[in-house]
Amino acid sequence: MTLTRRHFIHTAAASAGAVMILPYATRAFAQSADTFSVGAGEITVHPVEHASFVMETPVGVIYSDPVGDPSLYEDLPAPSLVLVTHEHGDHFNADTLTALVRDDVELITNPAVHDMLPDALKEKAQSMANGDSSEWEGVSIEAIPAYNITEERKQFHPEGRDNGYVLGFDGFRVYISGDTENTPEMKALENIDLAFLSMNLPFTMDIEQAADAISGFKPKFVYPYHYRGRDGGTQDPAAFAKLVEGDTEVKLAEWYS
């Protein structure tokens, strides 16, 4: 059976016990890309959908939370490194990873996802818990706690389970939030050049919380992403941009068809 984008994510979310089912239609990759200068070259960002994106970097191609039909990625360069933040079906799907993570591809996940991986992937994957540090091709990798702080949301992302990541390139630091609210750990980040910040309800945070987070760690650039929530409810990235003060530039991209 050929899976449509809608059917694939619905099935993935159900099998992973996810808290959200995303009603997205199949679409070919047709995204514009942004490029950022780093010490050793350039980073080019390709938004794919919702929480999934690809970064071409001077040391290799990084996929973040790739899910969906593998055909979504066929027009993009193959990955060198794949990062997975947590187990929900809009961030993790074992079938997608099996298709994308070839023998020469590195895979980093949080411990809960590592435990869920098929044996072939688990053998080559690195598990990073909150607070762990690692390195890949000269890029530093820090696992940042990602969790809910609002009482009625804590069941979605409990403290200590899920990761965000900070990637340290030559003179350029990238923060990938994963699913989280505006935690003290996020607001204490320093020297972030580029951030990907989740915002949707009830699973992460609203635009006011997201803007509050930006006021804390002050990245140079931020992509609002992961902003469609339950039953199609959404946070407005343009409204978020109006709340952001200071020198942070908000990058608006087409994350949804």
Domain boundaries, the chain: 5-250
Which of the four pLDDT bands, split at 50, 70 and 90, describes residue 193? very high
Question: Which CATH number is 5-250 given?
Answer: 3.60.15.10
Share of the chain above pLDDT 90, in %: 84
Distances (CA, A) of 66 to 153, 189, 248: 24, 25, 27
d(CA 54, CA 57): 10
For 103, the 3-state DSSP assignment is coil
**Contact between residue 194 and residue 205 where contact means Cβ atoms under 8 Å apart:** no
pLDDT at 257: 78
d(CA 198, CA 203): 9
Q: Between 2 and 190, whose confidence is greater?
A: 190
Q: Between 27 and 216, whose confidence is greater?
A: 216
Residue 154: which H helix or E strand, with range?
none
For 123, the 3-state DSSP assignment is coil
Angular region, 25: left φ>0, alpha ψ -120 to 50, beta rest:
beta
pLDDT at 13 over 50: no
Span 96-139, pLDDT tens digits: 999 999 999 999 999 999 999 999 999 999 999 999 999 999 99
d(CA 106, CA 203): 29
Pull the structure tokens for residue 253. Answer: 């991209």
d(CA 174, CA 162): 18
pTM: 0.87
